[in-house]
Chain A
Amino acid sequence: MRYLPLTQSDRQAMLATIGAKSVDDLFVDVPAAAQLDGPIHGLPLHASELAVERHMSALAKKNLAAGDVPFFLGAGAYRHHVPASVDHIIQRGEFLTAYTPYQPEIAQGTLQVMFEFQTQVARLLGCDVANASMYDGSTACWEAIVMARRVTKRGKAILSGGLHPHYVSVANTMAKFTGDQLVTSLPTFSPEPDTLDLINQIDDDTSCVVVQYPDILGRIEDMSALAEACRAKKALLIAVVTEPVALGAIKSPGEMGADIVVGEGQSIGVGLQFGGPYVGLFACSDKLVRQMPGRLCGETVDAEGKRGFVLTLSTREQHIRREKATSNICTSSVLCALAMSAHMTLLGEAGLRRLAEINHVAASAAADRLAEVDGVELVTDRFFNEFTLKLSKEARPVVRALADKGILAGVSLGRLYPGAAELQNGLIVAVTETTTEEDVETLASALEEALA
């Protein structure tokens, strides 16, 4: 077997050193009744690289890859072009096959990447500090709600209807067990997000308000007034960013007064990957850093005075604090963070702004074109690269019918909010630099036909 270097004679020699007759002697602590006498029946035996590749390739071919068709899906996962060098960099064995940098003298590569990533993310989100990443946006969002509870010692979180429904669902699941009180609502077909409603709901028990920016329908709105309202009641404003490319074009949440900014970094460097692994972003102000969950890398010096980096503030973490830790999180998403960081380095500020501009202009043009179709109404008038259409009929069957024709038309609100009758005609459409004008035309014609 190609991954096992020991030969039969090695095994015999090693058993002799150990003083065991056979490898069975090494399993003496396992009760005989619990030991299997051979390979588990009914499962296939080992296979060649070629055979495995055939098997997996056949499965991959059953899927409709985004790059093969006109593609308009977003809603928390975005398709952008990733430079070839990013994938090369993350496949360097020294990055790919390293462990968490517990021995910093021989892990400066990963540690410096973490430090650069933290700085890039903090700047992008408009905060003082960022951690070295979380599992994904949805878990980062819940961790932010828990952090707000720790900071404010209050248990009521108000979630905007514009927050991704999966993120709401994760928070609802967790809150059932932790006793946190969540105020949730559904989005509505309004060009404006629910900011005023949120402001009116903030009271003295509120730990935080959670808003998404751009929100699930693609809407963007200044959150300064909301931040002000939170501050007046000593609640925290948590902003969630699921499309960080947007921040190349629009103001960052930190600039507008958000206390904690979390997000999903997938859209920069990571790729779609059917939902994971992704990279959760987590940033906040300096004064909150000791309440922050997750890994942090910090600068220091070595015994010769040279600059170096180490994992730090680990007194917040589970391996030291055990049941008193800020979170049970034991890992981050470092390889995805590297992908994001390398992509940001390749883009630089000028590149990110240009990329964001191209996305926005392309999306704006697509929105105009699609709104010309009979039976299509553009709901969102301020957005970045994603907008919501209201169709003259239920959107979900339309999406399915178009997928059968090889067009991935967008995400229907019926898929995201199956119970909400009033939202069933909604379709979220994302347009990026990978979308061509021809793709938009194809979608427009197909919608015309489907809605006729």
Chain B
Amino acid sequence: MSNINQSGWRPTTPQAGEASGGTFTGNRALMLEEPLIFEIGSTETTGVDFGEAPSGKSRLGGLERSRTIGLPGLSEPEAVRHYTRLSRQNYAIDLGLFPLGSCTMKHNPRLNERMARLPGFADLHPLTPVDACQGAFEVIHQLAHWLVTLTGMHSVAMSPKAGAHGELCGVLAIRAALDAKGQQARKVLLVPESAHGTNPATAAFAGFSVEDIPATEAGRVNLEALKARLGPDVAGVMITNPNTCGLFEPDMREISEAVHAAGGFVYCDGANFNAIVGRVRPGDLGIDAMHINLHKTFSTPHGGGGPGSGPVVFSEALTPYAPLPFVEKQGEQFVLVEEETAGEHHASSFGRMVAFHGQMGMFTRALTYILSHGADGLRQVAEDSVLNANYILRSMEDVLDAPFAKSGPCMHEAIFSDKGLPEGFSTIDVAKGLIDEGFHPMTVYFPLVVHGAMLVEPTETESKATLDQFIGAFRSVAARARNGDPTVKTAPHHAPRRRLDETLAARKPVLVWKAPVRAEAAE
């Protein structure tokens, strides 16, 4: 097969007509349709030049690939254009406010990118002899020091690859600690109903059974109900604080004390650490383990869905069980504590979670960000993020139901419900309406404890002018939905695509491209 696109088929572009603005190409000025690489590339094209191969004999021993792989190539100009065109179909924090609640979409400083690309970091092999990569270990050590100090905890495991992986790290340390005490019978982790889905999934993956903790009317953990459930079968709790309703758990210390008294451990989901960084240390709240999403609080880019990075800070009680590997400073030398060196000092470690040492590229970015802000700047981050969220809460509560607004201020995110929207209108319509206004929508239908939840997290990197424009747009769309404006039901009207059929995608999954059957053959 010389060409991927043997059929000569071209992708479905809109037919010339009203919907496409009547253009021949289906493009609308700067909004450009872009085919798949399989439709425009060829297996014979390459955008890379190579030097001559040295001479040498083949040692593939009969395993030579004989069949075509089917990988299309593009020349460099075509490739750059392909991806540039695709990029323009994305919304991004660089383009505007991205108020996804619990996702902390803040500005990603470009100094972070530059530092991560220094050859001493980017072009460094993970198994470089330790004397030849002391600077990399020093980065890890410095970042670890900041994370431990900012959280008031005892130690930190740097290797988890993302938030959910950090959760896993935390609950495995809890399991290991309980097992070491002969408390294998403690198998239940209590998780609030408002928790992110990863919490119960992680607990289950680690072999725990999960039970809900009920919430109070005010959107907080029901302390009395929690206390009543504690017992010899309970391993601990997984609590998000500030919680997913955007509220601080005022009883956090009492919760921790009760759990500890009953022999359990306290895991805190640190997804919302941005609200309290520099103002509150989780260590002062009795927490035993908490993951930190470097891609949230510490500004490393989300990249369209990863890579994340989820270091986990530990209390003294859980520290002996933290995973390998980790970096230790011995005198002036940084050493890597791995399986072979764990020895007697770290014999209780529950083991290795990943190959190599974790998300180094994220560590350099996060450390760059932290050094830029410093202790004073990070405190201001928390304050501005909370201020911005409360500004949105108070600017919207007369047009959207804000279920917890009466009980006081929110933290870094404001939550609204779909109560008051007319029959047939829902949260999704408000969200899609915001797309037409040029904003990414907020988090929708999460947390589950609020009906038709809309969770808005502006972060500290938005100006008042941006917030005012967003509030104007949000109020306008909410008002149109309340008034039953049918055009809200069909939004977005101006995005690269109208609403997409997700049911069809799940019912008949098309997960890879296949060359279409020739039209004439099909007839």
Write the chain B residue with the least CB distance to A354.
B50
Name the A residues within 8 Å of B134 (CB-CB): 62-63
B355/A404 in contact, CB under 8 A? no
A233 at the interface (CB under 8 A from B): no
Number of B positions contacting A (CB below 8 A) = 213
Q: A38-B379, A300-B500 are in contact. Are A99 and B105 (CB under 8 A)?
A: yes
A381 at the interface (CB under 8 A from B): yes
B367 at the interface (CB under 8 A from A): yes
A17 at the interface (CB under 8 A from B): yes
Q: A52-B111, A306-B14, A354-B46 are in contact. Are A112 and B71 (CB under 8 A)?
A: no
How many angstroms between the C-alpha atoms of A302 and B41 in the bound complex?
A: 25
A57/B118 in contact, CB under 8 A? yes
Name the 6 nearest CB pairs between A and B, nearest first.
A348-B73, A335-B303, A275-B356, A60-B120, A62-B135, A93-B94
Separation in Å of the A143 CB from the closest CB of chain B?
A: 10
A312/B360 in contact, CB under 8 A? no
B510/A298 in contact, CB under 8 A? yes
Write the chain B residue with the least CB distance to A138.
B355
Stretch at the interface among A128-136, A152-160, A182-190: A128-136
A49/B499 in contact, CB under 8 A? no
A239 at the interface (CB under 8 A from B): no
B56 at the interface (CB under 8 A from A): yes
How many angstroms between the C-alpha atoms of A361 and B53 in the bound complex?
A: 7
Interface residue from A5, A17, A20, A31 paired with B461 (Cβ < 8 Å): A5
B132/A345 in contact, CB under 8 A? no
A399 at the interface (CB under 8 A from B): yes
Name the A residues within 8 Å of B79 (CB-CB): 85, 89, 342, 345-346
Separation in Å of the B498 CB from the closest CB of chain A?
A: 4
Interface residue from B71, B103, B388, B446 paired with A120 (Cβ < 8 Å): B71
Q: What mask results when residues 318 to 361 of chain B are scored 1 for a CB within 8 Å of chain A, else 0?
A: 00000100000000000000011000000000111111111111
- 25 inter-chain pairs at a CB distance below 8 angstroms, sorted by A residue, are A3-B106, A6-B384, A95-B303, A97-B94, A98-B91, A101-B305, A103-B441, A105-B500, A108-B86, A115-B512, A164-B355, A251-B67, A273-B360, A274-B361, A277-B306, A277-B359, A298-B506, A299-B505, A306-B497, A323-B200, A330-B163, A345-B37, A352-B69, A363-B56, A384-B60
Q: What mask results when residues 34 to 56 of chain B are scored 1 for a CB within 8 Å of chain A, else 0?
A: 10111001111111101101111
Q: What mask results when residues 251 to 280 of chain A are scored 1 for a CB within 8 Å of chain B, else 0?
A: 110010000000010000001111111010
Separation in Å of the B324 CB from the closest CB of chain A?
A: 8
Write the chain A residue with the least CB distance to B73.
A348
A107/B91 in contact, CB under 8 A? yes
B residues 75-129 near A (Cβ < 8 Å) are: 76, 79-80, 82-84, 86-95, 98, 100, 103, 105-109, 111, 113-129
B73/A345 in contact, CB under 8 A? yes
Interface residue from B45, B127, B299, B498 paired with A350 (Cβ < 8 Å): B45
Separation in Å of the B162 CB from the closest CB of chain A?
A: 5
How many angstroms between the C-alpha atoms of A345 and B162 in the bound complex?
A: 28
B8 at the interface (CB under 8 A from A): no
Name the B residues within 8 Å of A272 (CB-CB): 122-126
Q: A251-B66, A304-B19 are in contact. Are A364 and B58 (CB under 8 A)?
A: yes
Name the B residues within 8 Å of A17 (CB-CB): 391, 394-395
Q: What mask results when residues 191 to 220 of chain B are scored 1 for a CB within 8 Å of chain A, else 0?
A: 000001110111111110110000000000
A130/B352 in contact, CB under 8 A? no
Stretch at the interface among B257-265, B419-427, B488-496: B488-496
How many angstroms between the C-alpha atoms of A357 and B56 in the bound complex?
A: 10
A89/B83 in contact, CB under 8 A? yes
Name the A residues within 8 Å of B501 (CB-CB): 300-303
A3/B161 in contact, CB under 8 A? no
B128/A73 in contact, CB under 8 A? yes
A26/B386 in contact, CB under 8 A? yes
Interface residue from A61, A105, A251, A418 paired with B497 (Cβ < 8 Å): A105
B401 at the interface (CB under 8 A from A): no
A residues 83-138 near B (Cβ < 8 Å) are: 83, 85, 87-110, 112-113, 115-116, 118-120, 122-124, 128-130, 132-133, 135-138
A136/B60 in contact, CB under 8 A? no
Write the chain B residue with the least CB distance to A113.
B86
B89/A115 in contact, CB under 8 A? no
A251/B64 in contact, CB under 8 A? yes
Interface residue from A120, A248, A403, A418 paired with B129 (Cβ < 8 Å): A403
B74/A346 in contact, CB under 8 A? yes
Name the A residues within 8 Å of B301 (CB-CB): 96-97, 335
A288 at the interface (CB under 8 A from B): no
A358/B394 in contact, CB under 8 A? no
A45/B122 in contact, CB under 8 A? no
B residues 270-296 near A (Cβ < 8 Å) are: 276, 278-281, 284-285
Name the B residues within 8 Å of A123 (CB-CB): 69-71, 512
How many angstroms between the C-alpha atoms of A276 and B353 in the bound complex?
A: 13
A residues 289-311 near B (Cβ < 8 Å) are: 289, 295-310
B305/A31 in contact, CB under 8 A? no
How many angstroms between the C-alpha atoms of A351 and B354 in the bound complex?
A: 31
Name the B residues within 8 Å of A319 (CB-CB): 196-198, 446
A15 at the interface (CB under 8 A from B): yes
Q: A4-B381, A275-B356, A301-B500 are in contact. Are A116 and B36 (CB under 8 A)?
A: yes
B71/A109 in contact, CB under 8 A? no
A residues 197-219 near B (Cβ < 8 Å) are: none
Q: A61-B135, A274-B124, A328-B167 are in contact. Are A308 and B309 (CB under 8 A)?
A: no
